[in-house]
Amino acid sequence: MMTKKIRKIHTDEFNKEALALAERNGVSKAAKELGIRESQIYSWRAKTAKKVSTSQREVAKLKRQLSEQAEDLAILKKGGHLLRKKSKIARFEFMLEHQHYFSTKRMARVLRVSRSGYYHWRHYAQEPSNRMLNRDYRDMKIKQILDESKERYGAIRIQRELIEATTAIKTISDSIRRQNLVAKAAKKFKVTTDSDHQ
């Protein structure tokens, strides 16, 4: 008849003391001294290392989250006012100015702009777009026509004079307003003599 071996359950304190003894004297000596197997000490050591590495990972994760939140707050403190502006250009300019202090990814997220938009703006900001060049050319032509007409033409007459007759009247009006040009209204002819006099 076989007898079942009774398994000993050791307390956490005993495990810690065994690991400390194994660290000082070596695993085999500690196992003999305590009357346990070497494999048990190795098992306890592995479990302890796993617990430590898990807690270290959690601490590292929390530290990373704290630093990210601190960076978000710093970005908002310096550039939060830009969120009230409609133009994204002001936000892009802020990002360019502070690129050495904060990560581009975080600034884009906090300032609610896309990174691709920022990089596109940075790449093409120095050279004017075709649209801007066309607008400048149109402004120049409109001013020229207005000057030639002694500032008497309005948007409708300017449209007739322009080579690109397809230009909308609203576009011409916007150009006149943008350049602070004012068309002079023609004075009405007023009769100053009375032909019925004696």
Tens digit of each residue's pLDDT (9 = 90 or more) over 159-187: 777 766 667 878 878 888 877 777 776 66
Task: Give the model's pLDDT for residue 53.
Answer: 66
For the chain, the domain total comes to: 3
Residue 113 has a CB neighbour count (10 Å cut-off) of 20
Q: Which of 38, 45, 54 is nearest to 16 (CA)?
A: 45
Segments in the chain below pLDDT 70: 1-8, 52-53, 79-86, 126-129, 163-166, 185-187, 189, 191-192, 194-198
Are 42 and 26 in a shared domain? yes
The answer to whether position 31 is within a domain reads: yes
pTM (predicted TM-score)? 0.35
For 30-82, give the secondary structure using H, E and C: HHHHHCCCHHHHHHHHHHHHHHHHHHHHHHHHHHHHHHHHHHHHHHHHHHHHH
Task: Give the model's pLDDT for residue 194.
Answer: 65
The answer to whether position 190 is within a domain reads: no
Residue corresponding to tokens 């649209």: 131
